[in-house]
Amino acid sequence: MGKDFVPYEKTHKLQRLLFVTVVVRDGQRDAINAILFDNEAFFCASFHGRGTAPSAIIEVMGIGELKKDVIMSVVKEERWPLLKKDLEKRFGVSSLSKGIAYVCPVDSVMGVSIYKMLSNTQFSEKLSLKERIESKIEEKNENKVEKEEKNEQL
């Protein structure tokens, strides 16, 4: 009959996912998206935001401009320390590039394909499948050449 079902987690290393939210001054979205993509994020969802905090809170927090970009993404937990360092570096460039970032753990996702997309691993599996197929083809060609050489020697 068919192959026995083997759960995905038995054949692959699962990595915990984090939901990342970054809030920056309007116009900083592209720089933050680049940082997220450099840290293996599969997608970035960007929204325009407008602050409604009272002016006293704005002064205390040093927020300044009320127009904001809110960027949301999902990254692997192992990438968070590197992402955090990159964001801190970006926030320190100037007073115009300041922002806040925080993460929340993703407890579960519905389905293996969604997990693969969010963890940005769906394409690496396709590459490894392609590599396996190519190696089998090479192996067959080598075996064929060896057989031909043996036949010529006889």
Q: Please report the pLDDT score of residue 96 as a whole number.
A: 82
**What's the one-letter identity of residue 85?**
K
CA-closest candidate to residue 74, choices 124, 39, 100: 39
CATH of domain 15-120: 3.30.70.120
Domain residues of the chain, as ranges? 15-120, 122-154
Per the rule left: phi > 0, alpha: psi between -120 and 50, beta: everything else, 120 is: left
| CA separation, residue 101 to residues 50, 53, 91, 118, 142 (Å) | 17, 18, 10, 19, 54
d(CA 85, CA 67): 25
* Longest CA pairwise span in the chain (Å): 94
- Whether the Cβ atoms of residue 106 and residue 49 lie closer than 8 Å to each other: no
d(CA 37, CA 67): 24
Per-residue pLDDT of the chain (154 residues; tens, 9 = 90+): 557 777 777 777 888 999 999 999 888 999 999 999 999 898 999 999 887 777 777 666 665 667 889 999 999 999 999 999 999 999 988 888 888 899 999 998 888 888 888 887 766 665 566 676 777 788 888 888 888 888 877 6
d(CA 21, CA 71): 6
Q: Please report the pLDDT score of residue 124 as a whole number.
A: 61
Token representation of residue 84:
């955090």
Kindly report the pTM of this predicted structure.
0.69
**Sign of the CA dihedral running 131, 133, 139, 141:** negative
Token representation of residue 32:
């933050």
